[in-house]
Amino acid sequence: MHTKIPSRTTFFISAAAAVIIIEVLILGIFSPSSSSEQASAAIELVDARWLVRYQDRAAEIAKLQKEIRELKEKYAKCNNVNDEEAIVKELFDAVNPAKLLQLSTKFNGTYASAQPFPHIAIDDLFPSSIIEKIIGEHPESILKDGCIPGTERCYDSPEENKKSSINTDERMGTYTRILFSFLKSSTFTKFLEDLSGISNLLPDPHFHGSGLHFTASGGSLDIHADFNRHPDNNLDRRVNVFIYLNDDWPEEYGGHLELWSKDMQSCYQRIQPKLGRFVVFSSTDFSYHGHPEPIQAPDGRARRSIALYYYTNGRPSDECLDNDCSGQGHSDTFFKSLWDVKSVLMIPAGKTIQSGSPVWLAI
């Protein structure tokens, strides 16, 4: 009998410690916002009970308290990862100049020979940590009635509808601004130059036509060629970059980016706009693209993407209609308008998918 007392006491202490450790783990893992406060409140409460009950066991209790403190610290670290610093570091590690050079060296030929015009799609180029933050900063619900409050950019024409954009820095979340800063950096611009073979690219710091794009369910963007000149500086638009932000976006929701041939007879590519997918293509008077079918997602969902365009001073004449790049710039030229004029074209935009050689990479 006499010998059982210490072991029972040990058992109680161990049980109490296990309860505390489990509490620390639960509070630490599942309540990230105020977890450390809750954990310390719980521990102090239990500590006080212990001290009364097991006064003669002060040394053991002190040892357990120390272990608990260490656990608290460990889990506090997990919960309070200095997000911003860690995520930025992860971004810069993932897309460091050496890695980007490897990618462009390996795939510049693939890009150049892609049909119907130079392009490439790469999944998970950017770490999911920053992509997740960006979608959190701009939930689909901000696209109220097809228009993001506070932005003048709301499109509702037959060619481009239920679409809105955020195109000023101060309306973007922190991580979005960080990613855009990277997209405008020398490192990334050089990567695009190496990949596309186009020298002296300049990113547009003012987001003309770019930024964050949202298109509500039912919305669409007809097949078109992009506006070709920047209205402020007259530079020539050469490269388009998109990063898609659609988590939980099954194939049947649609909104695929379609790439059509110069003669508008064939759709060569349908690129699902799924989360983290990076698409880059060269923009000319003939790089016909869009997502012409209405998005089939449930109400309240929206197709989201990041867009940034790159320019040069001048361009090769074979990128312009009639080999003439000397005229005034033009705005987005929608294929449906061309279709109305040129009745010789027999296939409506977005209706026929023909073969092509898909250019697809998963890295």
Ligand X SMILES: *[C@@H]1O[C@H](CO)[C@@H](O)[C@H](O)[C@H]1NC(C)=O
Query: For 169, which DSSP code?
Result: G
Question: Cβ closer to ligand X: 48 or 363?
Answer: 363
Residues 6 or more apart whose Cβ sits within 8 Å of residue 131: 243, 245, 275, 276
Please identify, among the stretches 19-27, 106-114, 154-162, 310-318, the one whose residues bind ligand X according to the rule CB under 6 A: 106-114
Shortest approach of ligand X to residue 192 CB, angstroms? Answer: 13
Question: Cβ closer to ligand X: 32 or 197?
Answer: 197
Binding track, positions 184-223, relative to ligand X; x by CB under 6 A: -------------x--------------------------
Shortest approach of ligand X to residue 357 CB, angstroms? Answer: 16
User: Does residue 105 bind ligand X (CB under 6 A)?
Assistant: yes
Residues 6 or more apart whose Cβ sits within 8 Å of residue 155: 161, 162, 163, 164
Task: Give the helix ranges, DSSP H, for the chain.
Answer: 4-30, 35-53, 58-79, 83-94, 97-113, 128-137, 174-183, 186-196, 335-341
Please identify, among the stretches 82-90, 105-113, 147-155, 203-211, the one whose residues bind ligand X according to the rule CB under 6 A: 105-113
Among residues 42, 76, 112, 347, the one that binds ligand X under rule CB under 6 A: 112
User: Does residue 109 bind ligand X (CB under 6 A)?
Assistant: yes
Half-sphere exposure of 329 (CA within 13 A, CB side): 17
User: Does residue 361 bind ligand X (CB under 6 A)?
Assistant: no
Find, among 16, 69, 70, the residue nearest to 46 by Cα: 16
Q: How far is CA 116 from CA 64, 240, 288, in A?
A: 68, 15, 9
DSSP string of 246-281?
BSS--GGG---EEEE-TTSS-EEEEE--BTTEEEEE
Task: Give the helix ranges, DSSP H, for 226-357.
Answer: 335-341
Q: Tokens 């509702």 belong to which residue?
A: 156
Question: Cβ closer to ligand X: 197 or 294?
Answer: 197
Shortest approach of ligand X to residue 258 CB, angstroms? Answer: 25
Q: What are 303's strand-pairing partners?
A: 215
Q: By rule CB under 6 A, what count of residues binds ligand X?
A: 5
Binding track, positions 147-186, relative to ligand X; x by CB under 6 A: ----------------------------------------
User: Does residue 108 bind ligand X (CB under 6 A)?
Assistant: yes
Binding site for ligand X (CB under 6 A): 105, 108-109, 112, 197
